[in-house]
Structure 1
Amino acid sequence: MGLDMYAFSVNAEFAGDTQTNLKTSQADQERVARKSLMYWRKFNHLHGWMERLYEEKGGTAVFNCEAVRLMAEDLDQLETAMTTGSLTHTPGFFFGGSELYDDDVERLKEFIRLAREEIKQDRAVFYDSWW
Structure 2
Amino acid sequence: MGLDMYAMISDESFDREVDFKPGQGVGELHYWRKHPNLHGWMRTLYFEKGGEQPDFNCTPVTLTETDLSRLEADINAGNLPPTEGFFFGASDGSESEDDLAFVAKAREAIADGDTVFYYAWW
Do the structures match in fold with TM over 0.5? yes
- Counting only pairs closer than 5 Å after superposition, residues 107-122 of structure 1 correspond to structure 2 as 107-122=98-113
Match of 1:23 in 2: 21
Q: Structure 2 unaligned runs (5+)? A: none
**Hey, which of these two has a bigger chunk of helix by percent?**
1
1:73 counterpart residue number: 66
TM-score (normalizing by structure 1) = 0.87
The sequence identity of aligned pairs, in percent, is: 45
Aligned residues: CA RMSD: 1.2
Unaligned runs of 5+ in 1: none
Kindly provide the amino acid, as one letter, of the partner of residue 33 in structure 2: R
**TM-score normalised by the chain length of structure 2:** 0.93
How far does residue 22 in structure 1 lie from its aligned partner after superposition? 2.4
Counterpart residue number, 2:57 = 64
C-alpha contact 2:14 2:20 (8 A) present in aligned 1: no
1:71-110 → structure 2 map (5 Å cutoff): 71-97=64-90, 99-102=91-94, 104-110=95-101
The count of aligned residue pairs is 121
The equivalent residue for 1:124 is 115
CA contact (8 A) 1:20 1:54 kept: yes
Query: Which residue of structure 2 lines up, in the alignment, with residue 2 of structure 1?
Result: 2
Residue in 1 that maps onto 2:28: 36
